[in-house]
Amino acid sequence: MVRGPGSASTMNHLRSGTADVAIATVDSAMAELERSPGFALRALARLHDDVVHAVVPAESALREIADLGGRRISVEDTSSGIRALAPRILEFAGIDPAEEPAREEGLQRSIVSLERREIDAFLWAGAVPTFPIVEASRRYPVRLLDLERLVPIFRQHFPLYSATVVPRGIYAGTTGPIDTVAVRNLLLVREDFPEELAYALTLTTMNRRADLVRAAPVARAIDPMIAIMTLPVPLHRGAERAYRALKNMS
């Protein structure tokens, strides 16, 4: 299984056959299907959601995305989804991204740059909570900018994203709920992936969640009731069998 530097890279691995199983966001999966006619993709499970974070110091005067005009911003420096989304987010807030070029840095570097006051904000899309941000916020409180005004227009342009709320207290410095948007991560295979392997892998993923959480805390989000919600990417027939078996076991 591959999780590359971003969902676009991951999808390239799956399409080319250098990976048999991959994790990618649903919008990246659909974009790959549009680019590659004849590439048949199937899902084994919906995993966690990637949530858009606009992170600022807790004491910052910035309150919403529109306040980022003229500010120093960084975004993920890989082929991740937020790198492509960041200019659109700024546009929706009335900011010309050509006039406000963002620095391209990894998450850890963005956290350090924010703490050193080298930037005023960074944009990130990842799980809630994102543990490097949690750890950093314990020594340097941060909060998230609210995207409430942008959610309707964002969803109009990116219908595979959904409105969501980050609860208060997730990050030290965030004192209230924050409206933002999220996109689903899917466990993906090609359509010709062997049915028995798809069945076994799906069952194992659902039945060994405690083990997965120890390796990756974000796996807490895995839930068989939600995992079947993979559309517009259809479930693999082996995964369908697995969920029927899980239902019969309950």
**50-183: CATH superfamily:** Periplasmic binding protein-like II (3.40.190.10)
Q: Which amino acid is at 239?
A: A
Task: Check for a shared fold between 7-47+187-249 and 50-183.
Answer: yes
Tally the C-alpha atoms within 13 A of residue 50's C-alpha that lie toward its C-beta.
Answer: 22
Residue 71 burial (C-beta neighbours within 10 Å; 0-12, 13-18, 19+): middle
Pairing type for strands 121-126 and 162-166 reads unpaired
Architecture of domain 7-47+187-249: 3-Layer(aba) Sandwich (3.40)
The confidence score (pLDDT) of residue 189 equals 97
For the chain, the domains span: 7-47+187-249, 50-183
Residue 109 CA to residue 173 CA, distance in Å, equals 20
Residue 77 CA to residue 31 CA, distance in Å, equals 20
- Tell me the pLDDT of the chain (250 aa) as tens digits: 555 556 777 888 899 899 999 999 999 899 888 888 889 999 999 999 999 999 999 999 999 999 999 999 999 766 567 887 888 899 999 999 888 778 889 899 999 999 999 999 999 999 999 999 999 999 999 999 999 999 999 999 999 999 999 999 999 888 899 999 999 999 999 999 999 999 999 999 999 999 999 988 888 999 999 999 999 999 999 999 999 999 988 7
CA 50 vs. chain centroid, Å, equals 2
